[in-house]
Amino acid sequence: MRTTLSIPVILVLAVMLAGQAAHAQPARGQGAAPAGPPPGWERTKAQMRELQFAGEDAKVVVIAEQVVAAHPRFAEGHARLGGAHESVARAVAQKDRALAGRHFEMAATHLRHAFELGGGEYPDTTIRGLVDLYEYALPNPDRWKATVLDALKRYPAEPVAHWYGVQLVLRDGGITELDAALRKARAALPATAEPRLEYASLLTGLAKKQVPPEARAALVRDALALVDEVVKKNPADRSVRRKADAIRQNLAALGPSGAPL
């Protein structure tokens, strides 16, 4: 795909390449730590965001490729590149399925790098992006399952990892294992309000889908218990109460046993 770069994009690339010479490259070995942001990253990120809003995802790919070439262990660079490839793929999917498939594969490759390097600025987005690619664009049940299990190991503090873990239990038909998965998630998540409310909200959304009645009831009970626990620990926090009330309203629509009213 040919891409004509605007002068602002060329200037950003020049800034990044100039910074490369003065910035020591991190080791590529498996045990090496992920790299921090490269020089001029905030400016580069702003430029990519403007191009994305303008629908110029192919130009975002060019910029992000330069970033990861110069800084191969910078997780956020891979995350941005993966996201840009996915956007290009979706834009061309109706006209050229083969080209879209190649971009989806590149998206999976770079999201996997980001996933293995700590997830970048938004690990939950990286996790969801990679897992969902194997659900929809590149359907592969084995890779989907392996990625979910890997996410549970790498990101035990991320609500979305446990949300996928619960889905995995339900897909495998392990209703008897559901309570254990829910207990494991509650033990692993940080004790602070935000991640626990986020997880409760994710469980509520899952309970609204086509799941066995006994599973729905368990999801509702666990989500409600999480909400009650958080509110009890933060009685004076209005923000917590607002979020908790919103989740309770959604749960109430499912009925006390999880059955839709």
Residue at which a domain ends, from 109, 143, 177: 143
Do 239 and 163 belong to one domain?
Answer: yes
Domain count, the chain: 2
**pLDDT (tens digit per residue) in 197-216:** 999 999 999 999 989 999 99
In a domain, 249, yes or no: yes
**pLDDT (tens digit per residue) in 170-205:** 998 778 899 999 999 999 999 999 999 999 999 999
The pLDDT of residue 33 is 76
From the list 234, 177, 164, the residue with the least C-alpha distance to 205 is: 164
In a domain, 206, yes or no: yes
The pTM is what? 0.84
In a domain, 150, yes or no: no
Where residue 208 sits, what CATH number does that domain have? 1.25.40
In a domain, 211, yes or no: yes
Reply yes or no on whether the pLDDT at 261 is more than 60: no
The pLDDT of residue 223 is 97
Do 170 and 227 belong to one domain?
Answer: yes
The whole-number average pLDDT for the span 23-29 is: 32
Domain encompassing residue 169: 156-261
In a domain, 27, yes or no: no
Residue at which a domain ends, from 84, 112, 143: 143
Reply yes or no on whether the pLDDT at 1 is more than 70: no
Percent of the chain with pLDDT over 90: 81
